[in-house]
A and B are shown apart, each in its own frame.
Chain A
Amino acid sequence: MSSRRSSFRKRQKPPFERFKDRCRQFTAFMFSNVGIILLVIFYTIGGAFIFQAIELFEYERLRTHKTVKRNFGDECLQEIWEITAQNISFYDNKYYKAKVNEILLKFQRGIAHQNLLDPEVDKQWSFSGAFLYSLTVITTIGYGNISPKSDWGKLVTILYAIIGMPLFLLYLSNIGDVLAKSFKWIYSKVCLCRICPGVARRRIIRERRKLRRLALSKALHDMESRRSSSSTSGSRSSNSSSSSYYSEETETSTQSMSALEIFEEENDSDIEREIRMNTDEITVPLMVCVIIMIRLDCVEWISTNKIKIKFCFKCIHSRSYILAGAILFSRWEEWDYLDGSYFCFISLSSIGFGDLVPGERVITADKDKVEVSFILCAVYLLLGMALIAMCFNLMQEQVIHNVRAIKRAFKSCFRCRR
């Protein structure tokens, strides 16, 4: 009754106030959800600029301070030349080869060290690379393909993570909540055919009919049992008990009749209210959540496939201008389905090994040029995390529901035993 009264009251509100309410809701929504998305994005962009500035500054300082990098190629060449000059008279094939092999091993170690210790900093810390770096920090993925080399960079990373991670968690919980709500709404409308009111109404009417039938049968059963018991007990003194028995029967019949009347009271507003209540109580089954998670994988490998084609062109282009002897960028290892889904899982569960990295193609691209693939990647990460949060939200509901049911079952079991 109270809800109806309140709705009645709502209907009487003047249009101006209703508009005001709408506006207030809208602004709240903007501030809470859109605001937090924007905050995360701006925080990441700011972090990207800061890290880029710090790392590039450090790089420049190091380059001017230190001597030029050791040129392993020239050293190796010099050594080989010396050996050749010494051994040319012997013409000892085996000895010469062993010596050259040793020198080559040393050369290889040198390359490995150079590759692992200081890769090309200014190419790594392009804007897109730095953006991806700050994204991996606040999402705690941490691929590790780009990591700060300077002391200040490390300190700023720590501070950045301390502030950024709670912000991202807030984003996750907020967006996950909103997504879960909307997904639940869609699920209830589409999958359970709540969208057309006729179906729902028919379903509820059917359920009620079933209930009524149950109640009727129960009442009948009671009546019969009573009649039989009374007949057995009343066999000795049937005359005395007959009156009471009749009264009992009439009572039960009136009860059942009242129950029927209650069921027949249904009207449209009642049904509508029930529909609304049902939509609140719906829990999305676990399977649907799991399927969504798997779908995410599929989306990822489709996108990687698309990018792959783009990348091949870029690769060919880049090969022409990279000087031989500098660190070569690897060919983009074409990911198969397993690798794609593996990468996606590792990223979205925020493990982030970094053996397969989406940023690779971003970094190899030209400096100061925002790529489509890079934007795609960032959006994929942000959205994917939110979707995972949504799935967790839904699954939590379902699990709590199940646990409660199990508890109830246990309790009833214990009661029976006692």
Chain B
Amino acid sequence: MSKSVRSSRHNSRAGSSNSSSPSTPPRKRVKRCCRNFVTFMCTQLGVGALIVLYAIFGALSFMHIEREYIDETTDYVIKLRHNCAEKMWNITEKFNTFDRSEWQNNTIDILLEYQAEIATLIKNGYVGRTPEQIWSFPAALMFCLSVITMIGYGNMVPRTPWGKGFTVIYATFGIPLYILYFLNMGKVLARSFKFLYRSLHECAHERTIYDSHLEALENGSLSILQRKKIIVPSTACLWVIISYILTGTIMFANWEKWSFLNSFYFCMTSLCKIGFGDFVPGASLVTAADIEAASLKIKEDASADPEEIFNMQLITDQNSKLAINFFYMLVGMGLVSMCYNLMREAVRMKIKEIKEDTKLCLEDTRARFMGCCGTREYYDEDYY
């Protein structure tokens, strides 16, 4: 800890006096550079890598735990269907086809019963896929991310008691880690963005700055001018966030064949950590049965028309895109934190300005009021 403190002190000193002391021996400079690099790796990249490793570890253990789950509902559904068919056969045997109305009345009763049962099962989370199909590695990674970022899509949930307990433990350690990442990443990104903005700003106003420098040199107060603080306006942050969201929107709209509004909605709800889960890339509930059907179809008839097969493959290998989605989410969270950091500064400045303005205003009015009163008092005194 003290080491990092010392190095950071070094860093700040180097930043402040870089231009003034170019005569330091090269060996020392290399050493300092190395130290800075190591601290950077340990603090910024280290946290990011820790998050990724933690997510991978979580994904592996969740896969291990959840695949143990014996899915009784799939067997139950098959049994239910067979039972239903059996009952229908019995009815057909009993009533024959001569009495149609009687046959229909009996059959529809059975069908409605069947429908009710299926609806109950779906409400309780029957998806129609085995745990092996659900808990593929990218999906498990996505699940871990949704836990530690507190998004919680809810398209896949742990079903075993061990899985539930592990989720709770995983979240207790993961959420503080994520918050650390969030704060750290925000700071780093804010600093770099500020640097970028400042350099751009200086580029744009080079001439005026040059002139002012000349003037300042003449006056001998260069240091004051250089120390002038540049605050990134909040609109710039908003533009960054909006552009990021728009790229995400276009990306998801292309991949998932969603409408633009839907993918925009998905990006917003994800980055705001709400995470309804009605739109989830890759493994959404709506396309779950479709994926299964598509994979079956590809296996069964390879002789279908090529365009259809291409579409089917697009649906089936969506799992690989989840990894990209993972990084999109992580970077997006960092950007949100960056904007939070920068905007807080801007807002603070604005609030200070407003405070000063109101103070001035109040003082002005008070002075006026006092002036009025004072004159009246003066008059009163004069009168009496």
Task: Identify the A interface with B (CB < 8 A).
Answer: 72-73, 76-77, 80-81, 84-85, 88, 93, 96-97, 100-101, 104-105, 107-109, 111-113, 115-117, 136-137, 140-144, 147, 151, 154-155, 157-158, 161-162, 165, 324-325, 327-331, 333, 338-339, 341-342, 345-346, 349-355, 406-407, 410-411, 414
Contacts and interface: CB of A to CB of B under 8 A. Distances in A.
Given A112-B122, A115-B122, A107 B152 contact: no
B243 to A, nearest CB: 17
Interface residues of B, number: 63
B85 A353 contact: no
Interface stretch (B21-29, B105-113, B190-198, B228-236): B105-113
Interface string B167-210: 11001000100000000000000000000000000000000000
Given A73-B111, A115-B122, A324-B112, A351 B262 contact: no
Q: Could you tell me the dominant secondary structure of chain A's interface residues?
A: helix
Contact of A354 (B81, B107, B154): B154
A330 to B, nearest CB: 4
A355 B151 contact: no
A387 to B, nearest CB: 16
B116 A328 contact: yes
B122 A116 contact: yes
Contacts of A330: 119-120, 123-124
Given A142-B151, A411-B2, 16 more contacts: A72-B115, A80-B88, A93-B89, A96-B89, A104-B114, A109-B289, A116-B285, A142-B269, A327-B119, A329-B123, A338-B161, A349-B150, A349-B171, A351-B171, A352-B275, A414-B2
Contacts of B107: 77, 80-81
B68 interface: no
A158 B265 contact: yes
Contacts of A327: 119
B286 interface: yes
B278 interface: yes
A136 B274 contact: yes
Interface in B105-153: 107-108, 111-116, 118-120, 122-125, 128, 146-147, 150-153
B56 interface: no
Interface of B: 1-2, 77, 81-82, 84-86, 88-89, 92, 96-97, 100, 103-104, 107-108, 111-116, 118-120, 122-125, 128, 146-147, 150-154, 157, 161, 164-165, 167-168, 171, 175, 261-262, 264-265, 268-269, 272-278, 285-286, 289
Contacts of A77: 104, 107-108, 111
A342 B167 contact: yes
Contacts of B278: 144, 147
A353 B151 CA distance: 8
A411 B2 CA distance: 8
A80 B109 CA distance: 14
Residue among B115, B124, B151 facing the most chain A CB atoms (10 A cut-off): B115
10 contacts: A73-B112, A93-B89, A97-B85, A100-B88, A154-B262, A324-B113, A328-B119, A328-B120, A351-B151, A353-B153
Contacts of B81: 101, 104-105, 108
Contact of B128 (A81, A112, A154): A112
A143 B274 CA distance: 8
Contacts of B274: 136-137, 140-142, 161
B112 A104 contact: no
Contact of A88 (B1, B88, B96, B150): B96
Contacts of A325: 112, 115-116
Nearest to A158: B268
Nearest to A341: B168
Contact of A81 (B1, B85, B104, B116): B104
A345 B261 contact: no
Contacts of A147: 276-278
A279 B18 CA distance: 48
Residue among B154, B171, B262, B269 facing the most chain A CB atoms (10 A cut-off): B154
A134 to B, nearest CB: 11
B160 to A, nearest CB: 10
Contacts of A165: 272
A388 to B, nearest CB: 11
Contacts of B157: 353, 355
Contacts of B89: 93, 96-97, 100
Contacts of A161: 268-269, 272, 274
B116 A324 contact: yes
Nearest to A140: B273
B276 A104 contact: no
Nearest to B117: A328
A349 B175 contact: yes
A44 to B, nearest CB: 14
A49 B153 CA distance: 25
A97 B125 contact: no
Given A73-B112, A115-B122, A140-B274, A108 B153 contact: no
A406 B82 CA distance: 68
Q: 5 nearest interchain CB pairs?
A: A351-B152, A142-B274, A330-B123, A353-B154, A144-B277
Contacts of A352: 152, 154, 275
A332 B34 CA distance: 61
Given A161-B268, A351-B171, A353-B157, A410 B2 contact: yes
Contacts of B165: 338, 342
A296 to B, nearest CB: 13
Contacts of A158: 264-265, 268-269
B286 to A, nearest CB: 6
Contacts of A144: 153-154, 275-278
A192 to B, nearest CB: 28
A101 B85 contact: yes
A331 B84 CA distance: 22
A157 B73 CA distance: 35
Nearest to A329: B123
Nearest to A78: B104
Nearest to B92: A84
B277 A354 contact: yes
Residue among B146, B147, B269 facing the most chain A CB atoms (10 A cut-off): B269
Contacts of B175: 349
